[in-house]
Structure 1
């Protein structure tokens, strides 16, 4: 008997006197998109994002500027980079208008070549919007625009992101279908699950190596 035949014979004999188990595998796990009840999507998103060191806060469309101001103060961040032509940029600018003690607001309104040193060396935090989020993977969807270039969410050490609770989707497939991504995509659509991190050969995890070391998501429950 060959070695192969001997091995197969031993495997067959090892099953003598046993009963096969019923295969109760749920085929839907691999054939249907993952989904959650609407009331559980935001909590699912928060659990996954906080598990990888993302900070999340529930707030409202009226209350988030005050919350952001408190977070800036608590974290001792003296300035904030915004896109003033976006709704959230305009809202936070109005909130801080005429207040000498408020953090300094910087506008991304120049070509990068004109203020590269300031952006990389003297801009501790930024605020951007999002295109939504994915509950199944705990990911934010960032869609850079000329008003909010990719560098806004990539360079400052702290990234604040505005997320509408109504735009927390079940899965990536649902996002692409409902937002009609096939009709046109940017050169840089991003799924972000947490702050930048990396590990060296000794598996020591470090944050902020290739992007923000802190990601803070403000979830607007009434939007």
Structure 2
């Protein structure tokens, strides 16, 4: 009998048993962070994102358009790409036409190969909505679609994100189950925790190296929570 056969026979003779499935649900139920109030949870999410230079602008459903136009003006954005096939993209375009007509609006209506030179070299900002948030890590979860591809949030120097804070989950495990990611997830989900950053060179943290240098989150508060509730919840 060859050495190979001897080794294989010994392997086949080894007693095997099925390992028990880990109790992930129980683990995350016990280990997931808890907050006493929704305002404290929102504050933790915002403070965590701010630690890595994410900008949070609190607003409500009836004020976010004016806030959006104000951010565009303050950032001196000359050209912005909007998801014009979506409701939030159309609303953003409407307010810019009325209050910021000097800002050029463009749509992501071509393939990246067709307009990548213009996209990479002339567009100042991209505007997207957000699928959900993760409180524990101060994270936004972006769900790319054909109308709103992920490059809209990754290529322009400024990313303005519209986030409905009622979709904030405690942790990533809760978000996975709440969004039913096992069924119908897109080919790529973008997790955003502040502007693009790297410390590859001499361990010095630099922002904007591989993506947006600025992230501005328009955080839509529920009607029963005010900005004062969140900022003064500590």
Please classify the TM superposition score into its range, dividing by the shorter chain length: 0.7 to 0.9
Q: How many residues were matched structurally?
A: 197
Alignment partner, residue 141 of structure 1: 141
Alignment partner, residue 184 of structure 1: 184
Alignment partner, residue 198 of structure 1: 198
Note the C-alpha offset of 1:97: 3.2
Note the C-alpha offset of 1:33: 2.4
Cα distance in 2, alignment partners of residues 139 and 99 from structure 1: 31
Note the C-alpha offset of 1:67: 1.2
Q: Is the 8 A contact 1:35 1:136 kept in 2?
A: no
Deviates more, 1:36-45 or 1:164-173: 36-45
Matches within 5 A, 1:80-95: 80-95=80-95
Cα distance in 2, alignment partners of residues 144 and 195 from structure 1: 18
- Render the CA deviation track for 1:102-144: whole Å, top value 9, x for unaligned: 4111111111122110100000101001111000111000111
Structure 2 residues without counterparts, runs of 5 or longer:
1-26, 224-234
Deviates more, 1:61-70 or 1:89-98: 89-98
RMSD, matched Cα = 2.0
**Structure 1 pair 93–29 and aligned structure 2 pair: CA distance change class (3 A):** closer
Alignment partner, residue 47 of structure 1: 47
Alignment partner, residue 170 of structure 1: 170
Deviates more, 1:86-95 or 1:208-217: 86-95
Alignment partner, residue 3 of structure 1: none
Alignment partner, residue 58 of structure 1: 58
Note the C-alpha offset of 1:96: 2.6
Residues 1:71 and 2:71 aligned together: yes
**Structure 1 pair 98–60 and aligned structure 2 pair: CA distance change class (3 A):** closer
Cα distance in 1, alignment partners of residues 29 and 170 from structure 2: 15
Structure 1 residues without counterparts, runs of 5 or longer:
1-27
Q: Is the 8 A contact 1:65 1:92 kept in 2?
A: yes
Larger radius of gyration: 1
Deviates more, 1:89-98 or 1:72-81: 89-98
Alignment partner, residue 155 of structure 1: 155
> Normalized against structure 1, the TM-score is what?
0.82
- Render the CA deviation track for 1:151-210: whole Å, top value 9, x for unaligned: 100000000001001011111111111221111211111211011111234222211111
Residues 1:34 and 2:33 aligned together: yes
Cα distance in 2, alignment partners of residues 204 and 47 from structure 1: 22
